[in-house]
Chain A
Amino acid sequence: MDQRRKILDLLLSNARESTADIARQTGFDEATVEESIAELEDEGVVRGYQAVVDWQQRAGDGEHVQAEVELNVELDRETGYEDIARRIVKFPQVTSLRLFSGDYDFAILVEGESMHDVSQFISEQIAPIPEVTQTVTHFVMETYKDRGIVFGDRDDDDRLSISP
Chain B
Amino acid sequence: MRIADRVERVPPSGIRRFFELAEEKEEIISLGVGEPDFSAPWAARTAAIGSLERGRTSYTANRGMRELRTQIADHVRRYDLDYDPDEEILVTTGASEALDVAMRAFVDPGDCVAVHQPSYISYVPGVVFAGGEPLAVPTRPENDFALTYEDLTNAGAEDAEVLVLCYPNNPTGATMSRSELAEVAEFAVKHDLTVLSDEIYAALTYVGEHTSIATFPGMRERTVVFNGFSKAYAMTGLRLGYALGPPEAIRAMNRIHQYSMLSAPTTAQYAALEALRSCGDEVVEMRDQYDRRRRFVLSRFEEMGLDCFEARGAFYAFPHCGGDDERFAEELLRQEDVAVVPGSVFGVGGEGHLRISYATGLDELRTAMNRIERFVDAR
Which residues of A approach B to under 8 Å, CB–CB?
A: 10, 14, 21, 23-27, 157, 159-164
**Which residues in A have their C-beta under 8 angstroms from that of B19?**
160-163
> A164-B15, A164-B120, A164-B122 are known contacts. Are A159 and B296 too (CB-CB below 8 A)?
no
Asked if B154 lies at the interface with its beta carbon under 8 angstroms from chain A, I say no
CA distance A25 to B288 in the complex (A): 10
List 18 A-B residue pairs with CB atoms under 8 Å apart, sorted by A's residue number. A14-B362, A21-B296, A21-B366, A23-B299, A24-B296, A25-B292, A25-B295, A27-B295, A27-B299, A160-B19, A160-B33, A161-B23, A161-B28, A162-B15, A162-B341, A163-B15, A163-B33, A164-B13
B121 at the interface (CB under 8 A from A): yes
A6 to B46, CA, bound (A): 31
CB pair A163–B293 under 8 Å, yes or no, is no
Q: Is B91 interfacial (CB 8 A cutoff)? A: no
Q: How far is the CA of A161 from the CA of B293 in the complex (A)?
A: 19
In the docked arrangement, what's the CA distance between A163 and B96, Å? 14
Q: Which residues of B contact A164 (CB under 8 A)?
A: 13, 15, 34, 120-122, 170
The answer to whether A162 touches B32, judged by C-beta atoms less than 8 angstroms apart, is yes
Please indicate the chain B residues that have their CB under 8 angstroms from the CB of A157 in the complex. Answer: 37
Name the distance in Å between A57's Cβ and chain B's nearest Cβ. 18
Q: Which of B6-47 contact A (CB under 8 A)?
A: 13, 15, 18-19, 22-23, 28, 30, 32-35, 37
Query: Which 6 A/B pairs are nearest by Cβ-Cβ distance?
Result: A162-B32, A25-B292, A24-B299, A162-B19, A161-B22, A24-B296
Q: Is B339 an interface residue (CB 8 A)?
A: yes
Contact A159 B293 (CB under 8 A): no
The residue in B18, B122, B299 that gathers the most chain A C-beta atoms within 10 A of its C-beta is: B299
Q: Complex Cα distance A42/B111, Å?
A: 68
Interface string of B102-122 (1 = CB under 8 A from A): 000000000000000000111
The answer on a CB contact under 8 Å between B295 and A26 is yes
Q: Which of A21, A25, A161 has the most CB of B within 10 A?
A: A161
With both beta carbons as reference points, the residue of chain B lying nearest to A23 in the complex is identified as: B299
Interface assignment of B371: CB less than 8 Å from any CB of chain A: no
Size bracket of the B interface = 20 to 34
Q: Which one, A14, A21, A162, contacts B18 given CB within 8 A?
A: A162
Q: Which residues of B contact A161 (CB under 8 A)?
A: 19, 22-23, 28, 30, 32-33, 339
- Closest A-chain residue to B303, C-beta based? A24
Docked complex Cα distance between A76 and B84 (Å):
67
Q: A161-B19, A161-B22 known; A25 and B32 CB under 8 Å?
A: no
Contacts of A26 in B (CB 8 A): 292, 295
Q: Please measure, in the bound complex, the distance between the C-alpha atom of A112 and the C-alpha atom of B122, giving whole angstroms.
A: 59
Query: Nearest Cβ in chain A — how far from B115, in angstroms?
Result: 15
User: By the criterion CB–CB under 8 Å, are A159 and B37 in contact?
Assistant: yes
Per the bound structure, the CA–CA distance linking A162 and B341 in Å amounts to: 8
Chain A contacts for B120, CB-based, 8 A = 164
Interchain CB contact under 8 A, B22 and A162: yes
Q: Which residues of B contact A21 (CB under 8 A)?
A: 296, 362, 366
Q: In the complex the two chains form, what is the Cα distance from A23 to B341 in whole Å?
A: 27
How far apart are the CA atoms of A119 and B341 in the complex, in Å?
Answer: 59
Q: A14-B362, A24-B300, A27-B295 are in contact. List 16 more A-B contacts (CB 8 A).
A: A21-B366, A25-B292, A26-B295, A27-B299, A159-B33, A161-B23, A161-B28, A162-B19, A162-B22, A162-B339, A163-B32, A163-B33, A163-B35, A164-B15, A164-B34, A164-B121
**Nearest-CB residue, chain A, relative to B360:** A157
Chain B residues, Cβ within 8 Å of A162? 15, 18-19, 22, 30, 32-33, 339, 341
Q: Using Cβ atoms and an 8 Å threshold, which residues of chain A touch B121?
A: 164
Q: How far is the CB of A16 from chain B (nearest CB, A)?
A: 10
Nearest CB of chain A from residue B309's CB, rounded to whole Å: 16
Whole-angstrom CA separation of A14 from B275 in the bound complex: 28
Closest CB in chain B relative to A109 CB, distance in Å: 27
Q: Which residues of B contact A14 (CB under 8 A)?
A: 362
Alpha-carbon separation in the docked complex, A160 to B32 (Å)? 9
Residues of A contacting B34 in the complex (Cβ-Cβ under 8 angstroms): 163-164
- For residue A141, give the distance in angstroms from its CB to the closest CB of chain B: 24
> Does the CB pair B296–A25 fall under 8 Å?
yes
Q: How far is the CA of A27 from the CA of B292 in the complex (A)?
A: 9
- What is the CA–CA distance of A160 and B121 in the complex, to the nearest angstrom? 16
Within 8 Å by CB of A159, from B18, B35, B362, lies B35
| C-alpha gap A25/B293 in the complex (Å) | 6
Question: Smallest distance from the beta carbon of B311 to chain A beta carbons, Å?
Answer: 14
Which B residues lie within 8 Å of A159 (CB)? 33, 35, 37
Chain B, Cβ-Cβ closest to A25: B292
Which residues from B are CB-within-8-Å of A163? Answer: 15, 19, 32-35
